[in-house]
Structure 1
Amino acid sequence: MLLIYDLMKIVVKIRKITLFILTFVFFIASSFFIHWLEPEVFENPFIGFWYVMTTVTTTGYGDFVPETTLGRIFGLFLYFFGIGLIAIVIGKVVEGFGMYRKLKEEGKLRYKGSGHYVIIGWSSKAQHAMNEILEIDEQGSIVVIDTLPKAPYEHEKLFYINGDATDTHTLERANILDASAVLIFARDNEIDPVSADGKALIIVSTIEGYAVEMERDIYTIVEIIKEKHIPNFKHANVDEFVIADEALSDLMAKAAVHKGSGKLVMKLLGRKNGVDLWKIKKRDAWETYNDAFEALKKVGANLISDRNDFNLFSKLDDSIPDDAELFIICNKETYKKVKQR
């Protein structure tokens, strides 16, 4: 009994992978050994394996029982040592799951998916953007990069990376090269626009440098505090800017002059009214913008622009470029119909 106790102390200290291999070898060897001891009862090693596993898991069906004294002594050894061994293995497995959960929560794991959205800098705006993205893209997933000690938000589609976004190793862990887009947010209640926009510039410059080094394109969207700082980003290759202060001021000004326009814009930006802004590609049957306009109108969608060109109604007879990026307004069901056409 003391020998079994000493063996258990040694087993507990063994590395997981080594323990799993030794456990597998022990069970297989025990299956052949009991078959060798009592070939009349355990006619083949598989029956021996059945007996070993029902013994060490305390199932004990009793359909196969050793008849000799030596066989029963080995059965006792399996009962004491085998049950202890399987308990340790199960404990190691549970410990492994707990460690994985802990490492994931602390942002220390690597993200291996693709087509995801990377959010750098957690804030209330970032959380709202995440919810909007997941509402629009039902198959999407979010990777958040920040320096918080734990994941800032619990969601089945959120993966947290703890690290410095200006470190390429952190970007690699977020698999940023395979991301659909990267969104860089300023902190909540940021009072120093120079510091906030300067930090965003350093981050986006790091991303751009990494993209050039790897010969890949990374779509970046940056929130900046002051519009006058945009020229400082000219070498950073930012795809889109969202201006925090000026956007709100412009919206309020337009609402004051053109009453009701603020509500219209807010409804378009939100998803509560069921209508949203969607991007589609040109169809082969659409030669001109008018062709696209009429075809979309029949299914309940409104064509509003080609990229940032809103003057389509003045050139409906113009040909649509092959690389056009058309934007429409409609609900999700209509958008799905348009995509299937």
Structure 2
Amino acid sequence: MDRIKEQTSLIFRFVHWPLIARILVIIFVINITFGFLIHYIEPAEFPSIFDGIWWAIVTTATLGYGDYVPVTVTGRSLAIILILFGTGFVTTYFVSLAASAIATQNDYLEGKVDYRGSEHIIVIGWNERVRETLRQINSMSNKPLSIVLIDSTLEKNPLHDQNVHFIKGNPCYDQTLLSANVKSAGFVVISADQSKDEVQADMNSVLTLLAVKGLNPDVYTIAEILTSTQVINAQRAGADEVIQTNMFTSYVMTNSMMSNGMSNTLLTMLDQLKGSKLKYLEVEKDMIGTTFEKLSNQMLQKKILLIGIKRRGDTMVNPPLYTLIQADDCLLVIKD
């Protein structure tokens, strides 16, 4: 009774194996069985069991080398049965393998495959700002970056040829973030949803931020906020940086009206792929206690223009020349 139960359990488990695995096992069983049979039917033509198995594999694969051929009626009848059944299973196996490969590729394109890497960059939302951001960081890096894009509106990965892994889903849901392996991410960038109005987009960004920080409190997050009233909420939700897109645009427009052509200058300074760039540099030991004026002259000799200091979260542009550099300062510079 126990043996019957055990056999039934084995059959039940086998039936629930993946189709490709089941077909492969059946092919092996057929080849080994027919290899044994042809050896015992024609021992002169097939001196060993291995020779029989070799003949069965070659026959089912429709290669037909001809080095081993049955000569008796019984042996040839066995070969006919092997060709009819074995070749069918082999063909089914390769068709299933190809179909599985295509299905897997489609799953990758459609954002249905989880990401397993670590220290990657997660970008939430898709728009032209995100496209340009990804283009810039990929161009700046000397090695391929691991980037995961999360979006609920896209049907397929828009950047499948640029080493971007796509996850389709609502970023407010834990399961979507876990599929992107947010617990092991290095950065998370949250872009405002362009399909919603500004207030709804900001509320969605804050909710997404809460979900991200709930799963990985230590990940560095950058959130795009459109309305000034939601900036404080984004900071409360744990955003390490808040980018106020509308405010940036307003400032650029104002500067362009006050000084014609200023927008192109600002864009050039912020473009990481063109000319000199705005950067933060850490203070070195020999800089501590130096005045802003003296350090500016020293850095000019290295073709670096010092324009400000970031101190305890506040940025001072063109501070008084007598300002002393402190150990925890960051230097705001323009350099190549």
TM-score with structure 2 setting the length: 0.77
Taking a change above 3 Å as real, the CA distance of residues 200 and 76 of structure 1, as seen in their structure-2 partners, is same
Indicate the residue corresponding to 1:288 in structure 2: 286
Q: Which amino acid aligns with 1:107?
A: G
Structure 2, unmatched stretches of 5+, are 1-14
- Contact 2:109 2:157 (C-alpha < 8 Å) held by counterparts: no
Deviation at 1:296, TM superposition (A): 8.8
Q: Counterpart of 2:144 in 1: which secondary structure?
A: coil
Q: Which amino acid aligns with 2:248?
A: A
- Distance in 2 between the 1:25 and 1:326 partners? 71
Indicate the residue corresponding to 1:270 in structure 2: 271
Taking a change above 3 Å as real, the CA distance of residues 293 and 92 of structure 1, as seen in their structure-2 partners, is farther
Q: Counterpart of 2:188 in 1: which secondary structure?
A: strand
- Contact 1:38 1:66 (C-alpha < 8 Å) held by counterparts: yes
Q: Which amino acid aligns with 1:97?
A: A
Q: Which amino acid aligns with 1:166?
A: C
- Distance in 2 between the 1:26 and 1:299 partners? 76
Taking a change above 3 Å as real, the CA distance of residues 14 and 208 of structure 1, as seen in their structure-2 partners, is closer
Indicate the residue corresponding to 2:3 in structure 1: none
Deviation at 1:153, TM superposition (A): 0.9
Question: Aligned ranges for residues 150-169 of structure 1 at < 5 Å?
Answer: 150-156=155-161, 157-169=163-175
Question: Does structure 1 residue 59 correspond to structure 2 residue 63?
Answer: yes
Deviation at 1:262, TM superposition (A): 2.7
Indicate the residue corresponding to 2:210 in structure 1: 205
Q: Counterpart of 2:216 in 1: which secondary structure?
A: helix
Question: Aligned ranges for residues 51-130 of structure 1 at < 5 Å?
Answer: 51-130=55-134
- Distance in 2 between the 1:42 and 1:264 partners? 83
Q: Counterpart of 1:288 in 2: which secondary structure?
A: helix
CA offsets per residue over residues 148-188 of structure 1, 9 Å max, x none?
Answer: 26125142322222222111111111111122211111133
CA offsets per residue over residues 216-261 of structure 1, 9 Å max, x none?
Answer: x111111111223211223211011111111011122223434554
Deviation at 1:60, TM superposition (A): 1.4
Deviation at 1:294, TM superposition (A): 10
Taking a change above 3 Å as real, the CA distance of residues 108 and 234 of structure 1, as seen in their structure-2 partners, is same
Q: Which amino acid aligns with 2:254?
A: A
Higher mean C-alpha deviation, range 236-245 or range 27-36: 27-36
Deviation at 1:33, TM superposition (A): 3.6
Q: Counterpart of 2:111 in 1: which secondary structure?
A: coil
User: Which of 139, 145, 152 pairs up with 2:144?
Assistant: 139
- Distance in 2 between the 1:188 and 1:130 partners? 17
- Contact 2:234 2:242 (C-alpha < 8 Å) held by counterparts: no
Indicate the residue corresponding to 1:173 in structure 2: 179
- Contact 2:223 2:234 (C-alpha < 8 Å) held by counterparts: no
TM-score with structure 1 setting the length: 0.76
Indicate the residue corresponding to 1:226 in structure 2: 227
Taking a change above 3 Å as real, the CA distance of residues 14 and 262 of structure 1, as seen in their structure-2 partners, is closer
- Contact 2:187 2:219 (C-alpha < 8 Å) held by counterparts: yes
CA offsets per residue over residues 247-295 of structure 1, 9 Å max, x none?
Answer: 011122223434554323212332452655667778xxx5234899999
- Contact 1:288 1:318 (C-alpha < 8 Å) held by counterparts: no
Indicate the residue corresponding to 1:182 in structure 2: 188
- Contact 2:268 2:275 (C-alpha < 8 Å) held by counterparts: no
- Contact 1:121 1:145 (C-alpha < 8 Å) held by counterparts: yes
Deviation at 1:114, TM superposition (A): 1.9
Higher mean C-alpha deviation, range 120-129 or range 150-159: 150-159
Deviation at 1:89, TM superposition (A): 0.4
Q: Which amino acid aligns with 1:227?
A: S
CA offsets per residue over residues 280-317 of structure 1, 9 Å max, x none?
Answer: 778xxx52348999999898777777766567996898
Deviation at 1:330, TM superposition (A): 5.5
Q: Which amino acid aligns with 2:250?
A: S
Question: Does structure 1 residue 27 correspond to structure 2 residue 31?
Answer: yes
- Contact 2:304 2:333 (C-alpha < 8 Å) held by counterparts: yes
Identity value in percent: 26
- Indicate the RMSD between aligned Cα atoms, in angstroms: 3.6
Indicate the residue corresponding to 2:201 in structure 1: 196
Taking a change above 3 Å as real, the CA distance of residues 188 and 42 of structure 1, as seen in their structure-2 partners, is same
Q: Which has the larger radius of gyration?
A: 2
Q: Which amino acid aligns with 2:242?
A: F
Taking a change above 3 Å as real, the CA distance of residues 97 and 306 of structure 1, as seen in their structure-2 partners, is farther
Q: Which amino acid aligns with 1:188?
A: Q
Indicate the residue corresponding to 1:339 in structure 2: none
- Distance in 1 between the 2:41 and 2:275 partners? 73
CA offsets per residue over residues 61-100 of structure 1, 9 Å max, x none?
Answer: 2122223333222222222211111110011111111221
Q: Which amino acid aligns with 2:231?
A: I
- Contact 1:277 1:329 (C-alpha < 8 Å) held by counterparts: yes
Q: Which amino acid aligns with 2:73?
A: T
Taking a change above 3 Å as real, the CA distance of residues 264 and 18 of structure 1, as seen in their structure-2 partners, is same
Q: Which amino acid aligns with 1:250?
A: Y
- Distance in 2 between the 1:23 and 1:233 partners? 59
Taking a change above 3 Å as real, the CA distance of residues 87 and 200 of structure 1, as seen in their structure-2 partners, is same
